[in-house]
Structure 1
Amino acid sequence: MLKKLLLSTGLMSVMLPTAMAFAAEDATPAQLQGAVDAVWVMLAAILVIFMQAGFALLEAGSTRMKNAGHVAGKTILTFGICAIAFWAVGFGLAFGDGNSFIGMKGFFVDGTEEQAAAAYSSLAYSDVPIGIKFLFQLAFAGVSLAIAFGGFAERAKLSVYFIFSILFVIFIYPVAAHWIWGGGWLAGHGKQDFAGSTVVHLQGATAALVATLMLKPRIGKYNKDKTPNLIPGHNQVLSVLGVIILWIGWFGFNPGSTLSAMGDGFFGYIAMTTNLAAAAGGVAAIVIAWIYFGKADIPSMLNGVLAALVAITASCAFVSVRDAIIIGAVAGILTFFTAQWFEKAGIDDPIYAFSVHGIAGIWGTLANGIFAKPELVEKVGIGKPGLLYGGGLEQLGVQALGIFTTFVFVLIVSFIILYILKVTIGLRVTEEEEVVGLDLSEHGSYGYPEQMKKAAGGSSAVL
């Protein structure tokens, strides 16, 4: 059996390149480019969707054992809801032809090029099939939603995840996406956001901040004198593995946004700036934590990596390698100090969603207005050079305008949605359910049943 398997594998290794060669001979250059680009964007979409696994591990590891199954499992639930809502309505609102505020066509995506030609002129610059473009953009919407739910962790009702998922994907995410990526008014001003520091990360983080404030801190997080208590995550190894997966997924996130693997291989340059920024953010954050705490804090390092990735997402195609390292390092440091400030201010953000994705998203978006190089701006074809490269304050102003309008819009709409949910079905589980843990109260079983049974005689509130 093994011999046959090896023989068949050997034959395939010979036949596949031969078949591809014959196909290439019959294909026109345009057809060959289209096929390569389609495979590349499909691969990038898979990498970005795989980031959901990274979020599941990071969030589960960063929260308590009694909530681990719930935190990981709701990732599957919310991405499934996101996929259906984005297919039906969100994609058309974001990328469909319409006005400068919102798309008005292309709902219920049917995957045909006829619909693409009639409805999605903002995506016409790429010949990748519309089904793959939809999958790629769905992956981004799913990431933004996952970020938003970081602010709900360990205390929100499961029913809130259902309803907010649908409303976020229909009424929040597509609007700013259309403004910046779908041919909207910010695109007309030359807003630079190559892969989504504003569109994906700031939107999700702002919704997370609103939820964090409205849900209020977890039981036991603050003392009567308002000083915070440490509520550590139950498994740093899971958190580390989650960040590694997210780091890898970002190679679909940023380089994949070229929607092309042909030409001069620009996606490789973007991958390099992305990777070096992440490395700088992690190193800078752990050094600062070491100085501040006297110990090399692992969660701070993980947040530094993610913050740097968030920051470089807007500028990865516009800045030099050296400037990418600066952007990443600054993001890691900013995230560390803002996380400390938010906690002392009474804002219980269990996975530091706003510090990592909001503050870093703001910095990364502004960084374009400072570091964007003229030759790279010309290559990408969006906006103008940054302040340090002779562009003056114009691009920086456009970037700031995009941040302000997006933040205010998401803040207001998220508050309205969550306030309505609060006065109708309620946002937060009961005190008893929170103490027992959401694994048991919402799902009827623990993510770690053996360990929880052993600890049943102890205090479940701290597990």
Structure 2
Amino acid sequence: MEKELAYALDTFYFLISGAFVMWMAAGFAMLEAGLVRAKNTVEILTKNVALFATACIMYLIIGYNFMYGGGYVLPGFDLILSMADNTAEAVTAGGDDAPYYSNLSDFFFQVVFVATAMSIVSGAVAERMKLFSFLVFAVIMTGFIYPIQGLWSWGGGFLSEVGYSDYAGSGIVHMCGAAAALALVIILGPRRGKYGADGKVNAIPGANLPLATLGTFILWMGWFGFNGGSELAVASVDSANNVARVFVNTNMAASGGLIAALLVAKAMFGKADLTMALNGALAGLVAITADPLSPSGLLATIIGAIGGVIVVFSIVGLEKVKIDDPVGAISVHGTVGIWGVLAVAVFSGASFGAQLIGIASIFAWTFGLAIIVGFIIKAIMGLRVSEEEEDAGVDISECGMEAYPEFTNE
């Protein structure tokens, strides 16, 4: 009876954590909708809801098996049917060989992670990438690219064997998504009007900063499931204590990242830049994700604060080299994702060599495949909307409607 109770509690905790991570999809949608121009709002929202559904389907039929089924190319109907039938688990619950949570709860928790990685891409390519070209890329990203590199670490592959440590995915999820985003942004090029003839960087403000702020708070909240759920259990004293520490450290890192980014922005620009503050909070969250369990609350705050400093300089630096990322996703999830992975070696005793191998492997695989897939999609169906469509806004050309029809779409 005690084992069955633990099984039920851990399964329930896994499912609730997965629901929290799923809620991050709403955070990404609101953040991105707030940071793009009004004329591109409907299209970015459509991308976010469609990518989530695409990720869920692709991970069910093929991605999960790549990552946790031994790397087989096709799952076969037996896997799909077994995932829809929990009878065997119900019979063996509490037995000596039973898992301590339902396998279906594990799938649900993992599928929302792959959707998170894909959400990172949508913000970086906003305002100029074709909707259905993006969704074709999402099929490849969520069905093949992400799961295969996930196999190398969480699936028991060579990265886990060399000692690569990444508790909840600063590299496996966040840097992976950012690497794919970087590849597509390079192929797409910057938005029209982003750079002047003399190379001057022109600011393109988002249409709805209250919405972007709401999105950041939603992501902050969802991250408790992202990191807390990665403890994988809560039904023992040790695991419950670990979950509590993870929650506290996650919250403190976000706080440290926000304050640090706000102060750096004030020093650099002379003003309190809200968008930098929001990205600072997210940077702190990404930074602590590789190890939210080991540090003290104060150290977690410092790790997050370093991420907040890094993200401001990264956003400014990428703009100068004409990497146009409307929401700062590549910096938040990529540059700071690298810091998060290295922070495990700096503060928690992981091998620097193993962490560097992990960073290099994940980036090379994801960026390389994303470049190839991006060029193939470009050749077959095109990747970028026309200049006329971009100037008018992709809401009308891609979706046939406007988010704010009563206002002028500028």
TM-score (ref. length: structure 1): 0.83
Q: Which residue is 1:65 aligned to?
A: 38
* Aligned amino acid, residue 314 of structure 1: A
Give, in angstroms, the shift of residue 134 of structure 1. Answer: 0.6
Give, in angstroms, the shift of residue 107 of structure 1. Answer: 4.8
Segments ≥4 residues shifted beyond 6 Å: 102-106
| Among candidates 406, 428, 432, match of residue 384 of structure 2 | 428
Give, in angstroms, the shift of residue 278 of structure 1. Answer: 0.5
Residue 284 of structure 1 pairs with residue 260 of structure 2: yes
Compared CA separation, residues 258 and 104, structure 1 to 2 (3 A)? same
Whole-angstrom CA distance in 2 between matches of 1:89 and 1:230: 41
Contact 2:65-2:71 at 8 Å conserved across structures: no
* Aligned amino acid, residue 408 of structure 1: A
Give, in angstroms, the shift of residue 103 of structure 1. Answer: 9.4
**What are the residue-to-residue correspondences of 1:265-276 with 2, within 5 Å?**
265=240, 266-276=242-252
- Computed over aligned residues only, the root mean square deviation of the Cα atoms, in angstroms, reads 1.9
Higher relative contact order (CA 8 A, sep 6+): 2
Contact 1:314-1:365 at 8 Å conserved across structures: yes
Q: Which residue is 2:341 aligned to?
A: 365
Whole-angstrom CA distance in 1 between matches of 2:332 and 2:74: 30
**What are the residue-to-residue correspondences of 1:250-329 with 2, within 5 Å?**
250-264=223-237, 265=240, 266-329=242-305
Q: Which residue is 1:31 aligned to?
A: 4
Compared CA separation, residues 142 and 267, structure 1 to 2 (3 A)? same
**What are the residue-to-residue correspondences of 1:49-448 with 2, within 5 Å?**
49-98=22-71, 107-108=79-80, 110-111=82-83, 112=85, 126-264=99-237, 265=240, 266-372=242-348, 385-386=349-350, 395-448=351-404
2:385 match: secondary structure: coil
Compared CA separation, residues 347 and 260, structure 1 to 2 (3 A)? same
| Structure 2: runs of 5 or more not aligned | 90-96
1:422 match: secondary structure: helix
Whole-angstrom CA distance in 2 between matches of 1:400 and 1:53: 32
Contact 1:277-1:326 at 8 Å conserved across structures: yes
Whole-angstrom CA distance in 1 between matches of 2:185 and 2:193: 15
Give, in angstroms, the shift of residue 187 of structure 1. Answer: 0.9
Deviates more, 1:56-65 or 1:190-199: 190-199
* Aligned amino acid, residue 110 of structure 1: S
Q: Which residue is 2:93 aligned to?
A: none
1:449 match: secondary structure: coil
1:304-347 Cα distance to aligned partner (Å, 9 max, x none) = 00011011001112323232111100000000001001111111
Compared CA separation, residues 235 and 41, structure 1 to 2 (3 A)? same
Whole-angstrom CA distance in 2 between matches of 1:206 and 1:448: 33
Deviates more, 1:143-152 or 1:295-304: 143-152
Compared CA separation, residues 407 and 107, structure 1 to 2 (3 A)? farther
Compared CA separation, residues 109 and 250, structure 1 to 2 (3 A)? farther
Q: Which residue is 1:24 aligned to?
A: none
1:254 match: secondary structure: helix
Contact 1:254-1:270 at 8 Å conserved across structures: yes
* Aligned amino acid, residue 177 of structure 1: G
2:145 match: secondary structure: helix
Whole-angstrom CA distance in 2 between matches of 1:98 and 1:155: 35
* Aligned amino acid, residue 427 of structure 1: L
Whole-angstrom CA distance in 2 between matches of 1:297 and 1:115: 54
* Aligned amino acid, residue 108 of structure 1: I
Q: Which residue is 2:94 aligned to?
A: none
Residue 42 of structure 1 pairs with residue 15 of structure 2: yes
1:120-153 Cα distance to aligned partner (Å, 9 max, x none) = xxxx995211111111100000000000222210
Whole-angstrom CA distance in 2 between matches of 1:285 and 1:41: 33
Deviates more, 1:148-157 or 1:203-212: 148-157
Compared CA separation, residues 104 and 365, structure 1 to 2 (3 A)? farther
Give, in angstroms, the shift of residue 406 of structure 1. Answer: 0.6
Whole-angstrom CA distance in 1 between matches of 2:277 and 2:367: 28
Contact 1:97-1:103 at 8 Å conserved across structures: no
1:228 match: secondary structure: coil
Give, in angstroms, the shift of residue 98 of structure 1. Answer: 4.4
* Aligned amino acid, residue 282 of structure 1: L
Q: Quick one: percent identity of the two aligned structures? A: 39
1:339 match: secondary structure: helix
Whole-angstrom CA distance in 2 between matches of 1:358 and 1:323: 21
Contact 1:439-1:445 at 8 Å conserved across structures: yes
Q: Which residue is 1:376 aligned to?
A: none
1:49 match: secondary structure: helix
Whole-angstrom CA distance in 1 between matches of 2:253 and 2:298: 9
Whole-angstrom CA distance in 1 between matches of 2:215 and 2:183: 25
Contact 1:96-1:103 at 8 Å conserved across structures: no
1:108 match: secondary structure: helix
Larger radius of gyration: 1
TM-score (ref. length: structure 2): 0.94
* Aligned amino acid, residue 438 of structure 1: V
Compared CA separation, residues 415 and 263, structure 1 to 2 (3 A)? same
1:59-108 Cα distance to aligned partner (Å, 9 max, x none) = 00000000111111221111111111100000000111249xx8978853
Give, in angstroms, the shift of residue 430 of structure 1. Answer: 0.5
Give, in angstroms, the shift of residue 170 of structure 1. Answer: 1.8
